[in-house]
Amino acid sequence: MTRLAALLGLELPLLQAGMGAVAGPALCAEVSLAGAGGTLALYKEAPERAARLVREVAAVAGGRPFGVNVVPEVSGPDRCLAQLRAVLPVLPGNGFVTSFGLPAADAVHAVRAAGRPLVVQVGTPDDADAALALGVSVLVLQGTEAGGHLLGGQPVGSLLAAVRDRHPDAVLAVAGGIATGADLADAVARGADGALAGTVFVPVAESTAHPRFKRRVVEAVAEDTLVTSLFDIGWPDRPHRVLRNSLTTGAERGRAAFIATTRVDDRAYPVPRYSAAAPGATTTGRVEEMAMYCGRSCARVTAAHPAGVTVARIRREYETARALPTGPHPRTPPAPHRTQER
């Protein structure tokens, strides 16, 4: 039992990333039912719909803890706060909140006032300092190996070492390079309290990613990914790791055009070329030209099993790896009582 697992009530110290177009109610619920930390992506959802989605998860999650994910720099601070105010009253008592990037102080206050753990993902030691100063419960340290938008420029190992040195008692998870139980065990051995994984959950049965997106992740190796700034419409000024496609290999930026359509609640939304949106199950059109976020761990993602099977496999591998005799590892501090983090 690591401090991350104890704090959030998990059987396995693993969080599923709250990925837009991927992490809907079904994926969130199944990951939590399997003993890990399922997370529902709120992204740009309207507050009313966000609350409805939380109710859907709660109806099938069997009382297991699960989280909601906000992205303040995309939704904007006002919508982020409105999302939280809508979902916190319907989020079960053992639920938690995750934030991609630093949230505003009023968002932090809303989560803390509701008595929920706040998990914040950062990419630099300075942002780690700032997040802990806000009173967050858990830091997720994102390395450049991760898929999706990148919050910093350090590999995950050096980032973990730097932040652990500054904050020896903080509850730290890592993101980037986690696809197997051995990856998770290695992160814990290096001083993390757990990990967050995204790429491994993209192709699972309950993911709402487009079938072509799922297939490409399963078929990919690390060298099929690259960091670019091309997909900036709707999320500017943030580099991102994606799978290579015709746009990433083009010598010049293509002309502006709508290339696809995504449907949400029977309403169609056009997708422009170079949009930050990933292709979901309801997307039609030139899906192959869209951003398919994928981390370097894709080389160890070789099948599209149900989420429960994937979590069970990671759990077996983790327990096996932790049982193997190894050299000395950094000592994991004792788990704090959850109420200390509120």
How many CB atoms are closer than 10 A to CB 153? 12
Residue 312, in any domain of the structure: yes
Same domain (yes/no): 195, 253: no
Q: What is the pLDDT of residue 332?
A: 42
Residue 39, in any domain of the structure: yes
Residue 335, in any domain of the structure: no
pLDDT, the chain, mean: 94
pLDDT at 331 over 50: no
pLDDT tens-digit map of 35-70: 999 999 999 999 999 999 999 999 999 999 999 999
Pairing of strands 240-243, 225-228: antiparallel
Q: Taking the model in full, what pTM does it have?
A: 0.94
Same domain (yes/no): 154, 220: no
CB 180 within 8 A of CB 199: no
Q: How many residues does the chain have?
A: 342
pLDDT at 330 over 50: no
Between CA 174 and CA 263 the distance in angstroms is 33
Which 3-state string (H, E, C) describes 60-114?
Answer: HCCCCCEEEEECHHHHCHHHHHHHHHHHCCCCCCCCEEEEECCCCHHHHHHHHHC
Same domain (yes/no): 275, 312: no
In DSSP notation, 186-223 reads HHHHTT-SEEEE-GGGTTSTT--B-HHHHHHHHH--GG
Contacts of residue 77, Cβ cutoff 8 Å, sequence gap at least 6: 103, 104, 106, 107
Same domain (yes/no): 100, 85: yes
Same domain (yes/no): 97, 20: yes
Between CA 182 and CA 326 the distance in angstroms is 13
Q: What is the pLDDT of residue 10?
A: 98
Q: Please, what is the angle between helix 77-87 and helix 105-113, to 10°? A: 10
Domain of 240, in residue numbers:
211-297
Same domain (yes/no): 176, 268: no
Between CA 218 and CA 97 the distance in angstroms is 29
Q: What percent of the chain has pLDDT over 70?
A: 95
User: How sure is the predictor about 339, in pLDDT bands with cuts at 50, 70 and 90?
Assistant: very low
Same domain (yes/no): 143, 278: no
User: How sure is the predictor about 326, in pLDDT bands with cuts at 50, 70 and 90?
Assistant: low
Same domain (yes/no): 293, 318: no
Residue from 244, 258, 256, 255 nearest 288 by CA: 244
Mean pLDDT of 312-324: 96
Instruction: Please give the helix or strand (H or E) that residue 226 lies within, else none.
Output: strand 225-228
Query: Of 276, 297, 318, which residue sits at a domain end?
Result: 297
Same domain (yes/no): 151, 289: no
Same domain (yes/no): 108, 198: yes
Same domain (yes/no): 82, 217: no
Q: What is the pLDDT of residue 251?
A: 86
User: How sure is the predictor about 280, in pLDDT bands with cuts at 50, 70 and 90?
Assistant: very high
Domain count, the chain: 2
Same domain (yes/no): 90, 110: yes
Residue from 47, 40, 44, 46 nearest 22 by CA: 40
